[in-house]
Amino acid sequence: MSDSIDYSSLRKKKRYSHASIKVRVKIGDEWKSIRALDWNDRGFNFFIDAEINDISMTFKKDIKQFEGSIVWCFMKDDKRACLDAILNTLIFKKLEELKDRAGKDTIKNALLAVRTYDRIEEKKGLLKSMGVDMTDKNLSMRLEGFLEQHNLYQYGVHVENEHWENTVSSVLKDTRDMMAMDVAREKFFGLINKPAPK
């Protein structure tokens, strides 16, 4: 990691979670699809079922490649974390299937759910409202298969690249309605959680 990068200031820079960005990362000779989460114009984090030992990585958005540096890693090795990841993936896939048929309330509820860790029952209920009846038995089978096949890692990436900056600007422009809902939610919950004056 370069000493010229002020990582403390990067962590303070506003990040966005109202939409994920589809990206590919090159691991060995293989390109793997990932979703960039908690992103801004200087980086993102992502989950993947592979251990990455290199610091410098090559990513691809559309047909253009860009370089990024792995600055931190965390292994999700408990079952509830894996359940949460499975449900989040199912929610994202269902949103993609619904596309324009998903109403704003459905999109808002889905995005709020996937941004919150460990709300298993709420996420199962959300999936059911979207037409996916995720029973305990079904989820248990998915978890069993997941644990047999995967070690789930989360990585943080620092990026300084014009193509990535343009991608972020484009996504922010295209998703301003979702951002407005996020801001309204934050203001609302900020008001109801604000301590009463003494």
- 103-145: pLDDT as tens digits: 777 777 787 777 777 788 889 988 998 888 888 898 899 888 8
Tokens matching residue 121: 């029952």
Q: Distance between CA atoms of 94 and 73, rounded to whole angstroms? A: 28
pLDDT band at residue 32 under the 50/70/90 scheme: very high
Which residue type is seen at 25?
A: V
Q: What is the pLDDT of residues 49-97, one digit of tens each?
A: 888 999 999 999 999 999 999 999 887 667 787 888 888 888 888 877 7
Grouping H, G, I as helix, E, B as strand and the rest as coil, residue 145 is helix
Residue pair 75/153 in contact by the 8 Å Cβ criterion: yes
Picking from 123, 130, 161, the residue whose alpha carbon sits closest to that of residue 42 is 161
Gyration radius (Cα) of the chain, Å: 18
How many helices, marked H, and strands, marked E, lie in the chain?
7, 6
Question: What pTM does this model have?
Answer: 0.55
Is residue 50 a contact partner of residue 150, using CB atoms and an 8 Å limit? no
Q: Distance (Å, rounded) from C-alpha 49 to C-alpha 142?
A: 15
Does the 7-77+151-171 domain belong in CATH 3.40.50.2300? Answer: no
